[in-house]
Amino acid sequence: MTEIVVEVKSLVKQYGSLRAVDDISFDLHDGDVFAFLGPNGAGKTTTVEILECLRSLTGGSAKVFGYDVTKREDVKEIKKRIGVLPQEFSALDKLSVKENIDLIGGMYQKKLDTLEVIKLLDLEDKTKERFENLSGGLKQRVGVAAALVNDPQLVFLDEPTTGLDPKARREVWSVIHNLKRLGKTVFLTTHYMEEAQILADRIAIINKGKIAAIGSPQDLISQHGGRKTLVVRKGSKELAKTLQDKYGDTTLAQGGDVVVKVDDVKEMWQLLATLTDMKMDKEIEIQTPTIEDVFLKVVGARITEEGELK
């Protein structure tokens, strides 16, 4: 059993009449990439900032490396051990990449060599470039570099790809994969389904301050993702009828595609065997549920590109 890095129990954060975080509990294990997935205003950043000792909590408890986020002496220990990429990371415009990383590094007694971190983030050719001249993706990489300069065991990445173009987003994903490879524990917040599914070992779906579901992507999909789908391209009425009789839940879609839904992998194999026996030569496509389907199921809505519920 791996060590528990973050332990949150019945955490509550209240702003006046608004309960931003409503009695949530979860653990984060050493070496995991943990994703907090939810729309804007769900309570993701508030939770993360409580764990970063940046906000006070209203109720419950939160421990990082066993240190209590509410105790002054513990906070010092937590700050030494965590690295943070805040939401909408920014740095001093007129300073170079290296100088900005040095600035954050200068706050710690124990730190990595800045050039080593720059190399790790593949920023070597931008070492002397001023922060103001960097693209959005490069700025985020500088932010991640700054988060790693104190060689933290736990890295918080708050919405690391929001506002980035697809190419830059994939660059950041690659960085997060590298963090996982380096054995870092990563706490990621995002409203991008694909991001959470690709990067995370465990996902917590959060909405209106509450955790709606938590588990590995596979577990969440199998528990909440719904049925698997097989599509036979350009089928026929006869085929649709045959499959309906045998498996039920079969429809003939516009364009002649026959869509069959089955409950599990075993039934999918049976369906494929049936099609083989029929000497079927049509193109087929197997569609498995995604985290988006899980989210739709547990929250009852989708998230837009901007992070809003729809």
Partner 1 sequence: MIRPLVIFSAVTKNWIRSRSGLFFSIMFPVLLLLVFGAIFGGTGGTSASTLFVQNLDRNSGGTTTQLSSVFVEALNSTKTFAIKDVPADADPKVWARDNLGPLGGNIRIVTISKGFQNDLLNGTFKVQVGISYNLLNYTYHYLPLNDTVKPIYEQGLAQLQQYNETLPDARTSLTLMFDASDQSATVIKNIVISVANAFNYRIIGATSVIEFKEESVVGRSYGAVDYYVPGIIAAFIMSNGIIALTSITSEFKRRGIIKRLSITPLTKFDWIIGNVLSQTLLSLILTAIMIFVGWIVFRVQAIPDALTIILIFLGSVMFSGLGMVLGGLVKDVEAASALGNAIAFPMMFLSGTYFPMEFMPSYLQSFARFLPLTYFSEGLRYALIYKYTEGVLTNMAVVSALAVAFIILGSVVTRWKEK
Note the residues at the interface with partner 1 (CB under 8 A): 15, 49, 52-56, 76, 79-80, 82, 84, 86-95, 99, 102-104, 106-108, 130, 146, 150
Strands 82-85 vs 154-158: parallel, antiparallel or unpaired? parallel
Q: Which residue has the tokens 């909440």?
A: 224
List the 228-232 sheet strands across, edge first.
250-252, 258-262, 228-232, 284-287
Looking at the Cβ atoms of 130 and 282, the one nearer to partner 1 is 130
Calculate the alpha carbon distances from 234 to 89, 252, 271, 280, 286 in Å. 49, 9, 17, 11, 15
Nearest distance, CB of residue 187 and partner 1, angstroms:
13
Nearest distance, CB of residue 122 and partner 1, angstroms:
22
Nearest distance, CB of residue 143 and partner 1, angstroms:
8
Looking at the Cβ atoms of 92 and 115, the one nearer to partner 1 is 92
**What gap in Å lies between CA 127 and CA 129, rounded to an integer?**
6
Looking at the Cβ atoms of 86 and 235, the one nearer to partner 1 is 86
The beta-strand segments (E) located in 112-201 are 154-158, 185-190
Looking at the Cβ atoms of 99 and 201, the one nearer to partner 1 is 99
Nearest distance, CB of residue 173 and partner 1, angstroms:
22
Q: DSSP class of residue 58?
A: S
Count CB-CB contacts under 10 A for residue 69.
Answer: 22
Looking at the Cβ atoms of 84 and 205, the one nearer to partner 1 is 84
Nearest distance, CB of residue 255 and partner 1, angstroms:
50
